[in-house]
């Protein structure tokens, strides 16, 4: 599987590029963030990729980082969304916009994506709301290495990182989690998923 490419940019349009990698040109459909970053022809760039394999075709999709690629994979888990629709979404809105949509359905009215209506956006929000914490579950947790994995502190640390990846500042995320845990005396037994779910419910009240 091709998980990344590094090469010289020899062609660029709004939502696709061609990278020359050792004399081979790879056509890559790109996200909005990649389009904003990759601008100069004949310069070298690295793109995180996802290879969509079908019976009669191979198509590469490019992303700015691992988080954006994981979001693409999560989009594919939504009913009715295939590779091209998922790419269309990420080529018109940023990762942060999509996070805002998933965590708060009131954000739907602010999003405009050709071919994607409000009902589909609602389905995305409902389907991925409980899955979003997975995006960085294994990223940026080195600070928790010294904490036992089955402890309440480690669970809260995972939830904190997830909320920060949703765009909340550290002090805001810490306050949300504190308020959520205060509402239940047995909060020490919560799983990471339960804390994040309750935090999202608390935020959208």
Judged by average pLDDT, the poorest of 17-26, 70-79, 193-202 is 193-202
- At 181, the pLDDT band (50, 70, 90 cuts) reads confident
**Across 137-163, average pLDDT:** 55
Burial-class residue 191 by CB neighbours within 10 Å (0-12, 13-18, 19+): exposed
Q: Residue 111: count other Cβ atoms within 10 Å of its Cβ.
A: 17
pLDDT category at 70 given cuts 50, 70, 90 is confident
> Residue 40: how many CB atoms within 10 A of its CB?
9
* pLDDT at res. 54: 81
pLDDT digits (tens, 9 = 90+) for 94-134: 877 887 887 777 778 888 898 898 899 989 988 887 676 55
Domains of the chain, start order: 4-63 (2.40.50.140), 66-132 (1.10.150.20), 134-203 (no CATH)
Query: What per-residue confidence (pLDDT) applies to 89?
Result: 93
Please, are residues 177 and 195 in contact by the beta-carbon 8 Å criterion? Answer: yes
Mean predicted confidence (pLDDT) in 128-145: 55
Residue 18 bridge partners (DSSP): 11, 27
pLDDT given at position 148 = 38
Tokens linked to 4:
């990344």
- Owner of token pair 């994607």: 116
Tokens 């994040």 correspond to what residue? Answer: 196
**155 or 109, higher pLDDT:** 109
């Amino acid at each position: 599987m091709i998980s990344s490419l590094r090469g010289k940019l020899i062609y660029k349009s709004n939502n696709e590029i061609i990278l020359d990698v050792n004399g081979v040109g790879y056509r890559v459909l790109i996200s909005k963030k990649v389009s904003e970053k990759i601008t100069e022809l004949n310069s070298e760039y690295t793109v995180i990729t996802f290879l969509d394999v079908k019976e009669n075709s191979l198509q590469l999709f490019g992303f700015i980082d691992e988080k954006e690629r994981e979001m693409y994979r999560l989009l594919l888990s939504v009913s009715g969304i295939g590779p091209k629709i998922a790419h269309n979404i990420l080529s018109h809105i940023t990762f942060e916009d999509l996070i805002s949509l998933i965590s708060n359905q009131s954000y739907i009215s602010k999003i405009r994506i050709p071919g994607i209506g409000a009902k589909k956006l609602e389905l995305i929000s409902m389907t991925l709301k409980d899955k979003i914490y997975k995006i960085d579950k294994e990223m940026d947790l080195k600070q928790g290495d010294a904490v036992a994995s089955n402890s309440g502190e480690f669970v809260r640390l995972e939830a904190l990182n997830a909320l920060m990846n949703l765009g909340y500042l550290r002090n805001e995320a810490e306050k949300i989690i504190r308020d959520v845990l205060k509402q239940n005396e047995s909060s020490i037994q919560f799983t990471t998923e339960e804390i994040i779910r309750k935090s999202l419910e608390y935020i959208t009240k």
